[in-house]
Amino acid sequence: MPTSFSHLRFLKLSIRCNKDQIHVIIFLLKRCPNLETLVIDIVELYRWYSCKFKWGEDIESGQSVFKCMMYHLKKVEIRHFGGHENEIEFVKVFLKNAKALQKVCIRFRQGLIDLRMQTKISEMILALPRTSSNVVMLFS
């Protein structure tokens, strides 16, 4: 039987984009049913952009991936966000499925995108559908 991290409440991951790492991230998150805070640091941005995957097609349905965890997850923080399609897809999965979500913090990668583009990306994310009506979105 796979190991479960049922006592884990806080998880910080530094991720690079390749399918192997995405599979490992999903493997970990599926085994953290009581996770309340998830912090993601995006590293090696150039590889993130070149990585082509769809949460629904290449991995599996976002609804089943995080099913247990989504009842307890209260905060998601994504650091070094660049606004790429893959990053927005990642946020979309959490907004769509996290029923207890209270706060999403998105910290843009400094020097990568200007303030006008940050505003445009923020507006796009704010327009995404969400399961939790109480979620506060913070951008910096």
23 token code pair = 């599979």
The pLDDT value recorded for residue 43 is: 81
Could you state, in order of their start, the residue ranges of all structural domains in the chain?
A: 10-139
The pLDDT value recorded for residue 119 is: 93
The pLDDT value recorded for residue 12 is: 94
Residue 57: which H helix or E strand, with range? none
Question: Per DSSP, what are the bridge partners of residue 10?
Answer: 37
Instruction: Please indicate, yes or no, whether the overall pTM of this predicted structure exceeds 0.75.
Output: yes
The pLDDT value recorded for residue 58 is: 43
In three-state secondary structure terms, 77 is: strand
Residue 2, C-beta contacts closer than 8 angstroms, at least 6 positions apart: 31
pLDDT per residue as tens, the chain (140 positions): 467 888 999 999 988 766 667 777 777 888 888 899 999 998 865 554 555 555 544 444 444 555 666 788 999 999 999 888 878 888 888 898 888 999 999 999 887 788 899 999 999 999 999 998 899 999 99
Of 87, 8, 84, the C-alpha closest to 40 is: 87
Helices (H) and strands (E) in the chain, counts: 5, 5
The pLDDT value recorded for residue 55 is: 52
